Homo-oligomer: A and B are copies of this chain.
Amino acid sequence: MATTSSLERLRETNRRSITTLLAAEGPMSRADLVRGTGLSRTTVSSLVGDLIASGHVVETADRGRPHKGGSGRPPLLVALSTPGGAVAGVDVGHGHVRVAVADRVGTVLAEEIADMDVDEDGTHALDRAARMVREALAAAGLEPGDLHAVGMCVPAPLDRRSASIQTGILRGWRELSPADELRRRLGVPVFADNDANLGALAELGQGAARGASDLVYVKVASGLGAGIVLGGRLHRGSTGIAGELGHVQVDEHGQVCRCGNRGCLETLVSAPRLVALLQPAYDVPLSIERILALDDAGDAGVRRVLSDAGRAIGRALADLCNNLNPERVVVGGSLGASPSLGAGIRAAVDRFAQPDTAAALTVVSGDLGDRAEVVGAVSLAIARVSV
């Protein structure tokens, strides 16, 4: 299948292990790379030489310190060169589009947000997203031609094969392949995934789950979804629709859900639902931000509602954790930062999961907040763009 020879593949593998090490740990000397990869000095030297020649790596101006003690020749540091060009991440939510343009090591150069109703008209949302990518590129002082790839997330499961949205969750998007559509508009490769998956990837790589290998990322926002990382890799399921925590049925006689079932967890717990639940008791129009502020201020009603919501999530999550025994749960999404919500989740997990499972588990809020998805989208673009 692969036309390249095994030896070429071996060298390719070794090159990759150097670049990934550099990506993970930042600039380091060849000697450090020797220690990190287990390859010989000679081989590392030769590989780094290749990488410098091909422009993927540069020798930095400053020197480091020798490995042991202060004695010895100071090493020359090498670092991943910021390859020319940029990538973009696009986060399409139910109520917003967020775009980030980053260089090819993941440093975000420009970011844009727009509120809009995405559900009804996929075409319009994609037009808008494409325009925002171009604007963000310009804001970062880049040309349209600098863009190499785009990662995007959509707030719905994506069928693995057709890469299109199958379920009825997004009304205006049925049978649409968001990646193809955006590629047509921008003229570069576009890679799409589900929002919770990319949030998980972001928290795993740069957020609250750094270093974890079995992780459940729960996104509490307009919808409720989970991104599941097992063994350090995203689990997408056989047809790519894993992580539908929000469509676990919690009330057989509950409200009909947009997914077609009834009584889904998402019908009880989601940002709009909680706003609607709280609004009657308050004189001012509530927003997520205001609710979070009230939570911090100790407002009893808000605390109660968020804590109940957390317990409902935790109840479903406990079952999942009994089955998966993850080491960490990261709560993200617009409501992920709420302490009451987190406490509710923690309480329900402790209550309903097996004691050993609960003991092996930490529940934390995401570090990246609303930006998790777009950061994950950037990571996806970087991971997929050819090296």
Roughly how many angstroms separate A226 CA and B261 CA in the complex, as a whole number?
25
Does A295 sit within 8 A of B, measured CB to CB? no
Chain B residues near A326 (CB-CB < 8 A): 237-238
| Interchain CB contact under 8 A, B319 and A248 | yes
Roughly how many angstroms separate A193 CA and B205 CA in the complex, as a whole number?
31
Does A245 sit within 8 A of B, measured CB to CB? yes
Roughly how many angstroms separate A244 CA and B214 CA in the complex, as a whole number?
16
| Interchain CB contact under 8 A, B356 and A325 | no
Q: Determine the interface band of chain A, counting residues with CB < 8 A from chain B.
A: 35 or more
Does A354 sit within 8 A of B, measured CB to CB? yes
Contact of A2 among B38, B236, B322 (CB under 8 A): B38
Q: Nearest Cβ distance between residue A260 and chain B, in whole angstroms? A: 6
Does A96 sit within 8 A of B, measured CB to CB? no
| Interchain CB contact under 8 A, A354 and B241 | yes
13 further contact pairs, Cβ within 8 A, besides A166-B356, A214-B238, A260-B354: A6-B39, A6-B43, A167-B356, A228-B323, A230-B230, A231-B233, A231-B235, A237-B325, A238-B360, A241-B354, A242-B323, A247-B322, A249-B318
Q: A residues near B, CB below 8 A? A: 1-2, 5-7, 10, 14, 38-40, 43, 157, 159, 166-167, 213-214, 226, 228, 230-231, 233, 235-245, 247-249, 259-261, 316, 318-320, 322-327, 352, 354-357, 360
